[in-house]
Structure 1
Amino acid sequence: MYTFINNEESNKKKVIFIMGATGTGKSREIEPDSDFTPEDFCLQAIVYIEKILKTQRVPIIVGGSNSYIEQLVEDPVFMFNYKYDCCFIWIDVEQSVLNCRVDMRVDQMVKAGLVDEVRQIFIADADADYTKGIRRSIGVPEMDKYLREETNLDGDDESKRMILQASISSIKRNTRMLICNQLDKIQRLISEKMWSLHHIIATNIFKEDREENLDEAWTNTVLQPCQDIVKRFLKNDHHN
């Protein structure tokens, strides 16, 4: 296990980070053409962190881009390490298992209306820009060909089905690549930036041959160890 060790003064304000690879997500809070930059994330994160601290609670930052989290913690402009005592928890799942979960998650998203969601921000323009804003999110550019062709293929259900399936396969493939990049980023934060992370391995939870039910497995493998880590962190004991 990678353990968090803090040799700074103990009166820093405490912040907890839950990190790990993610799947595909959408945001309805950002305009489609607007870029939510790392600077935007940092500025908003600090505002909300301070609001939570004023209520005598401990902020917990869960998920999000590891690049954004890195900038928040490392950028000297924000002096985050100077102001805050951080505990990093990394929930890790073997990539082959994550890949299977990605496939299931994408299929669920399609059934839940992914195509209609993307259609709302689709631009039927040959010069549509998929390099900024929410349109660069995984799931949007991959649907471009299908949304362009669907009206031209009225009555040709088989062709529409094949194009849609190709788009879905691209979403799954690109999400797997994203996960790989996220895991590489975490390893780089450990090896190059010398971040100390509590490493929680949750792979067995998602295997079909586990002996416990899902809730029990999650509690025993993830929830309880994380609670123990946080209790020690809040007591200023950063050792195992």
Structure 2
Amino acid sequence: METDQEHEQKTQNPNNGTTKDEIKLNPTSNSKTKVVLIMGATGAGKSKLAIDLASHFPIEIINADSMQVYQGLDVITNKVTPQEQKGVPHHLLGTISPSVEFTARDFRDSAISIINEVWSRNRLPVIVGGTNYYIQALVSPFLLDDSVEDAEANCFSDSQEDEQPDLEVELMSEDYDCAYNRLKDIDPVAANRIHPNNDRKINQYLNLYARFGVIPSKLLQERTVENWGQVDNSRHDFCFLCVNASLTTLDPFVDRRVDHMVDAGLLKEVFDIYTTNADYTKGLRQAIGVREFEPFLRRYIPEHQKPCDESHVQTLNDQTLKQNIQQIVDSPDDNEWKTLLTEAIEQVKLNTRRLVRRQRRRLNRLQMLFGWNIHYVDATKSILSGADDIWAVEVVKPSVGIIKSFLTGESSTENGGNVSEEMKLKQKDLWTQYVCEACGNKVLRGAHEWEEHQKGRHHRKRISRLKKSGSLCL
């Protein structure tokens, strides 16, 4: 008998699971499970495409956004609403407690289980998200940055003879600065790869050195980097789709989206999650749109408390404070509070635009260095026009064609993960640090990132200006 949920899904999306030309998802019992991965920068339309694909294939969606997995902050994390989901089943969307650190390993283990369940129902698993380290954890046979235990189990199990158990590093007694300085002394190459405040990775690298007596950069470069990101030994057969759009189109689009998020209640969510001296490096507070408002709230909240006597302070109720903040946003007058709030909103926009660039660089890296066979669909015209018919022609139609070819075996990543000799050479240079003096001593990681930076318009304009001024020494 049909459940209420199944009936609701069919009502909202009556075409879900039906096509004119039915494609058998599981042709042989011993074939790899087929999985579609939809990637792309924030704002490009990944979630929209995945939901629209349900009109052509029997699919279920698995969220791979590291912030959307958490419960709460639905506006800030831009979760698709139940209405927008159109009855298509979604997994790992707002299901994890915000007090839990949901790692790449956690995602991989959860996603594998869900993929198997979806496939057993003769439905196509569709992974959607912009968190590339989640996706790499699922695709790759090795977890590079998750934990020391994973590194040992997956990479160093054949090197037990190299262990030197007498080498120990007293990590717990050291503060973060001392631990980072110790790593710099042991392995400056590895230290250059991470931020001095990334205590988890610092401890990971020091533990690797303590266990094997070999510097982390040597171990990781020689024994693991060639596996991290490879798809040829993956447990699944993946079809990689990327929704792409030009930066000149995405930048104003994400700016407008932030404004819409403010109108939809972003500030109320920020107020609800705000605590003094919060840790913005873990869990849901890492989301863009949270920490940017701390300077405003740190000054605003104390000044809007009402002292009752010398020993007690009566705080305005939450609703009143939220209303006051909204009045500041809507106020036509420029004042201190309006300035602080405006600066916070502009910082959210700036950080979102920076995220877009990081996501694009990482996708390019996966394709260039690890040979991912990524199929790009261009959403530029659709975003500029805002027209559904252009979206259907420019994005949905080519995506459907790519997936049909993938399901029928005409296109597969089984033989698409081979890495060229040029790529292998670039892999070996992932750890080199380059510094561009022309761009204010900007630090680039690896030969590929350095080459891409040199091709960039900003770098070329800087070089041109320096040449004209005679400041550049050739």
Would the TM-score normalized by the shorter structure come out above 0.5? yes
Work out whether 1:132 is the aligned partner of 2:198: no
Q: For 1:12, which of 32, 36, 53 is the aligned residue?
A: 32
In 2, distance between residues paired with 1:11 and 1:33?
39
Work out whether 1:179 is the aligned partner of 2:245: no
User: How do 1:142-161 residues align onto structure 2 when only pairs under 5 Å count?
Assistant: 142-152=292-302, 154=304, 158-161=335-338
SS at match of 2:375: strand
1:101 Cα deviation from its structure 2 partner: 1.0
Q: What's the % identity of the aligned pairs? A: 37
In 2, distance between residues paired with 1:136 and 1:222?
31
Work out whether 1:193 is the aligned partner of 2:259: no
Work out whether 1:227 is the aligned partner of 2:400: yes
Pairwise CA RMSD: 2.3
| Cα displacement string for residues 145-173 of structure 1 (whole angstroms, at most 9, x for unaligned residues) | 11122235559952211111100001000
In 2, distance between residues paired with 1:75 and 1:133?
25
2:236 is matched with which residue? Answer: 84
Preserved CA contact (<8 Å) 1:205 1:217? yes
2:259 is matched with which residue? Answer: 107
Preserved CA contact (<8 Å) 1:153 1:160? no
TM-score (norm 2): 0.44
Preserved CA contact (<8 Å) 2:139 2:234? no
Preserved CA contact (<8 Å) 1:33 1:135? no
User: How do 1:31-46 residues align onto structure 2 when only pairs under 5 Å count?
Assistant: 31-46=97-112
Consecutive unaligned residues in structure 1, runs of 5 or more: 1-9
In 2, distance between residues paired with 1:105 and 1:153?
31
1:219 Cα deviation from its structure 2 partner: 0.6
What amino acid sits opposite 1:130 in the alignment? Y
TM-score (norm 1): 0.85
2:245 is matched with which residue? Answer: 93
Work out whether 1:75 is the aligned partner of 2:248: no
In 1, distance between residues paired with 2:390 and 2:122?
31
1:82 Cα deviation from its structure 2 partner: 3.8
1:204 is matched with which residue? Answer: 381
In 2, distance between residues paired with 1:21 and 1:230?
20
Preserved CA contact (<8 Å) 1:17 1:60? yes
In 1, distance between residues paired with 2:339 and 2:141?
46
1:204 Cα deviation from its structure 2 partner: 1.4
